[in-house]
Amino acid sequence: MKVLFYFMAIQMAFLFPVIASEFKQIELTDFRSNKAVNLLMFNESKPTYIKLWATWCKPCMEQMPHFQRIQEKYGDKINILAVNININENMKYIDDVITKNGLTMPVLLDKEGKLSEALGLVGTPFSVLINTNNKIVYTTHESNNVLDTFIDKLANGSKLAGEYSKVITAEEKKNIIKPWKEGNHTLFFTATWCDWYLEDSRPEMANECKEVQSNITKLYDKSEVKEWHGFVNHLWTDKKALTDFTQLYNIKLPFDIDTNGVLFTYFNIRSIPTIIRIEDGKVIKKMTGNEITKLFKK
């Protein structure tokens, strides 16, 4: 199985999400009413989905039908906002896009480009998801099943990465690692999202995740050693996501979220899923991917 080092490196920005309150006061203009608004005026008990777009952006136009379907499905649970970046723009063209696509979400103008700058816009379309803790948890230029899954999770109460993204001290790290530096343990490392997030970009990895996670309880049951413990990667994961994951795969062994990726880093876990065996506080065996699936066939 290929390692996920490159994939994880790309996602490091999500370890410390941007706090949305820093830009919620930026003044925008409501296209329909021409009144000044800001993000604080929308229901802060809901998560927020912002799409930055332009009428001259071909991918933006291709994504508009999908954007409206999201509005129709989740508009009562999520603040869904269409924010035009107002560069080389024409108000008639904006109106045409609204009419053609039947857009029913608020359409806002970032007249001075301040919101686009604050969100780190480098190209349109750009989707930004903000949880109810006022933290950005996902950004993308795509409208695909990954974005849909994140939106669904937010709509159904998940906080995603924001809840587990605080900076921790060296002493806290030491305390997280300490229990696993002594005694005998079998540790299983995986992610709540590896089966679906990687489905399009890394299908082989996704299939391995599904197979291992579907069979890990059988492996645990037949193991003579019962000091097992599972850890899921903390990215885009909260307690609800972990509960959904363990229920989906009927996992019996105890499982926790790896706080800020401390154990993934300490044990150099760069491929998921991975199983390591610790004896007298030392790692004596590490298995990944195909090595694990072979155990199911014995």
Phi, psi of 17, deg, nearest 5: -60, 150
* pTM passes above 0.85: no
Query: Is residue 243 domain-shared with residue 263, that is, in the same domain?
Result: yes
| Domain end call among 122, 146, 164 | 164
pLDDT at residue 298 tops 60 = yes
- All residues at 6 or more sequence positions from 9 whose CB lies less than 8 Å from its CB, including other chains: none
pLDDT at residue 164 tops 60 = no
| Domain end call among 164, 192, 217 | 164
Query: Is residue 151 domain-shared with residue 24, that is, in the same domain?
Result: yes
What per-residue confidence (pLDDT) applies to 237?
Answer: 85
Separation CA 161–CA 14 (nearest Å): 7
Query: Is residue 135 domain-shared with residue 185, that is, in the same domain?
Result: no
Run of H or E residues at 287: strand 282-288
The average pLDDT across 19-43 equals 89
Phi, psi of 118, deg, nearest 5: -65, -30
Smallest CA-to-CA distance from 125 within 113, 136, 140 is with 140
Classify residue 5: in a domain, yes or no. no
Query: Is residue 148 domain-shared with residue 254, that is, in the same domain?
Result: no
Distances 9 to 6, 13, 229 between C-alpha atoms, Å = 5, 8, 25
Question: β-strands 228-232, 274-279: how paired?
Answer: unpaired
Query: Is residue 186 domain-shared with residue 252, that is, in the same domain?
Result: yes
Classify residue 242: in a domain, yes or no. yes
Classify residue 33: in a domain, yes or no. yes
The average pLDDT across 234-251 equals 91
| Domain end call among 113, 135, 164 | 164
What per-residue confidence (pLDDT) applies to 167?
Answer: 59
Query: Is residue 21 domain-shared with residue 93, that is, in the same domain?
Result: yes
Range of the domain at 237: 170-296
Percent of the chain with pLDDT over 70: 90
Contact 127, 51 (CB under 8 A): yes
Higher-scoring residue by pLDDT: 107, 204: 107
Classify residue 11: in a domain, yes or no. no
Neighbours of 51 (CB within 10 A): 22
Token digits of residue 295: 């155990």
Domains held by the chain: number:
2
Classify residue 222: in a domain, yes or no. yes
Query: Is residue 233 domain-shared with residue 153, that is, in the same domain?
Result: no
Classify residue 2: in a domain, yes or no. no
Token digits of residue 140: 């993308």
The average pLDDT across 247-262 equals 91
Higher-scoring residue by pLDDT: 105, 198: 105
Query: Is residue 178 domain-shared with residue 292, that is, in the same domain?
Result: yes
Contact 139, 129 (CB under 8 A): yes
What per-residue confidence (pLDDT) applies to 214?
Answer: 95
Task: Give the CATH number, domain containing residue 177.
Answer: 3.40.30.10
Query: Is residue 215 domain-shared with residue 179, that is, in the same domain?
Result: yes
The strand pairing partners of 127, in sequence order, are: 51, 140
